[in-house]
Every structure is written in structure tokens, then in C-alpha cells.
Amino acid sequence: IDGDTPFGRRLAAMLLDIEAENNRRRTGFSHIIGAKLRLILAELLGYYGIRDDARSIVDRHRKLRPAILYLEQHCHEPVRLEDIAKIVYLSPSRFRHLFQETMHVGFKEYVIGLRYQMALRMLASTSSSVEEIAASCGFSNLNSFYKLFRQREGTTPTAYRNALTQKE
């Protein structure tokens, strides 16, 4: 793709936006980057003539974007699928289906992922206790937080934090 064409410039801008998002490392940045990569894919599908698929992907992301933005900002609070579905004017059932189809992860898993990313950042950047971090990130059950952490990192939150401080 020629970078001097309007499409090439638009694609370059989208890639720079992803790089900036990665550098900012805001809550849920990995999910935001994933969504932006899917938009690039949609643009590429359109560029190469697969217009129906591209339109469908872009339309689904546009429809869900207000809900995703809300979740990124409020994931540490109790969130219910029914309430989030209202943000985008969908029934809970339709929202659940559209979310899974578009994000390739279930609603509950997505929220847990956002909370988990927030907890990782807090472990690295604060001296708060693991219990305080888990609670402030929206985990209501400390045991489930420890279990999730061990599954994803292969260690405990305390050991993870200690390993980070030893690297510095």
C-alpha cells in the first residue's frame, strides 16, 4: 500500500494511534489496541474489495464503542451486562451476542481482563496491599483474584511485585 495515497496516510495514522495507545498504557490498553487492530483489519478488507465483511466489522465496533469506553473507565465498579447494553440501546441478549462476536471474548471475561490489567499496573506502581488493590480494581473475592493471578502469571501477586522491584 502506497503511503502517499489517502488510504496509506489513513492507515499510517491508525498505526501511530495504536503506538500512542501502547505508550500511554491506560487501563484496558490491550483491549483498546485489539479493537483498533480490528478496525485496521476492517479497513484492509475494504481496501482489498471484501466490502461486506469490512462494513460489518466496522459497524459492530462503532455500535459497541460507547459501551467499551464506559467499561474502560468504570471496570473497577460493579458492572452489569444489562446496564451496559442500555448504553448502546440493545437488549441484554443482543448485546451479549454482539459483544462476543465482535470482541471474541465474553462480556464477563472482558471486564475481568480490564480489572486484571489495572491490578497489574497497581502492583507495579503503588505500595498498596494486594487486598487493597484487588478490592479497588473491582475484585470482590480475594481468593478468586489470587487464583486468576496464579493462572495468568504462574505466581502470586506478592511474588510478582517482588520480582518487579528486584529488576529495578
**How confident is the prediction for the chain on average, in pLDDT?**
87
pTM assigned to the model: 0.68
Read off the pLDDT of residues 127-165 as tens digits, 9 standing for 90 and up.
999 999 999 999 999 999 999 999 988 999 999 999 888
Q: Which residue has the higher pLDDT, 109 or 40?
A: 109
Residue 75 class from Cβ within 10 Å (0-12 exposed, 13-18 middle, 19+ buried)? buried
Average pLDDT over residues 98-126: 92
Contacts 24+ apart (CB under 8 A), 81-86: 81/107, 81/108
* pLDDT at residue 71 tops 80: yes
- Report whether pLDDT(41) > 90: no
Calpha distance 90→29 (Å, rounded): 25
